[in-house]
Amino acid sequence: MKVHGIEGMSPDQILFEIDRGAKFVYYRYCISVLVLTFRRSSDVYFIPTGAGAVGKGLPWTMLTVALGWWGIPWGPIWSVQSLITNFQGGEDVTEYFYAKFRAGGGVPPAIVPK
């Protein structure tokens, strides 16, 4: 997984932005094909202070709206869960990244559940 939005930033700059209220989030999406339904997570996105997190998740939300509902029974269930997560601004994983940057490492690998 990739972390979008931190290109060209040093770890110190990222920590400064997190201290000001920036966050790292990922979004959920769901795709169904007849009786098969897949629930996945997007890459991680860096959301600067004051920027809206819901807008970054719109591609994943629209994908879920278009393709998530069709698999029975999990399509509707996972689609609703994905939409709720995305409309709440994604799943916040800032604490994970904050701890990794504080530990002195570079950009940590983005580990999010599938």
Over range 72-80, report the average pLDDT. Answer: 95
Question: Is residue 75 over pLDDT 60?
Answer: yes
pLDDT of residue 79: 97
- For the chain, the average pLDDT equals 90
Query: What are the extents of the domains in the chain?
Result: 3-102
Confidence of residue 111 (pLDDT cuts 50, 70, 90): low
For residues 62-100, b (16+ Cβ closer than 10 Å) or e, as one string? ebbeebbbbbeebbbbbbebbbebbeebbbebbeebbeb
pTM: 0.86
- 16-62 residue pLDDT tens: 999 999 999 999 999 999 889 999 999 999 999 999 999 999 999 99
